[in-house]
Amino acid sequence: MAVQDLTAPRGEVFAFFSDPANLEALTPPWLRFEVLTPRPLPRGEGALFDYRIKVRGLPIKWRTLIETFLPGECFVDRQLAGPYALWHHTHRFEDLPGGGTRMSDTVRYRVGFGFLGWVLTALWVRRDISRIFEYRRQVLAARFKPVPGPRTAP
């Protein structure tokens, strides 16, 4: 789980996160992330998105479904097709006392491929996911300014 406290109001942070056009800004350049879904992009529960990423130089298509969408509170995206046997990502948004927003992410994932998937996870996947969330933490800190204190680290 990753947690980040930001000084912006919850509605503003949620609006930024729930806009699929912002995914490109939140994804590190080394993944060469590209939204393939034609614009205007769908929003809310039931929305489907197609992307292309490059993982270690290999192009991979990825399709996700927004399976839960509670405006201002949370949304959940689930991979339907892509690099993982399981990808289930919950985004939660809460008001902080005195203003600001606590944003938390819970990601459940499994690589697949049996023992080979376990080896890949041990060697690269876990580290790559940590790098992706660290990049995102930096982008959000620059955009929304973090709340001072220890809760800005994942």
**Cβ count near 56 (within 10 Å):** 9
Question: Which one-letter DSSP state was computed for residue 146?
Answer: B
Q: Tell me the one-letter amino acid at 17.
A: F
Task: State which residues form the domain around 13.
Answer: 2-152
Q: What is the pTM of this model?
A: 0.85
Number of domains into which the chain is organized: 1
Alpha carbon distance 21, 41 (integer Å): 7
Alpha carbon distance 151, 90 (integer Å): 18
Burial 77-113 (b: 16+ CB within 10 A, else e): bbbeebbbeebeebbbbeeeeeebbbbbbebebebee
CATH, residue 27 = 3.30.530.20
User: pLDDT tens digits for the chain (154 residues)?
Assistant: 899 999 999 999 999 999 999 999 999 999 999 999 999 999 999 999 999 999 878 899 999 999 999 999 999 999 999 888 899 999 999 999 989 999 999 999 888 766 655 566 656 778 888 999 999 999 999 999 877 765 544 4
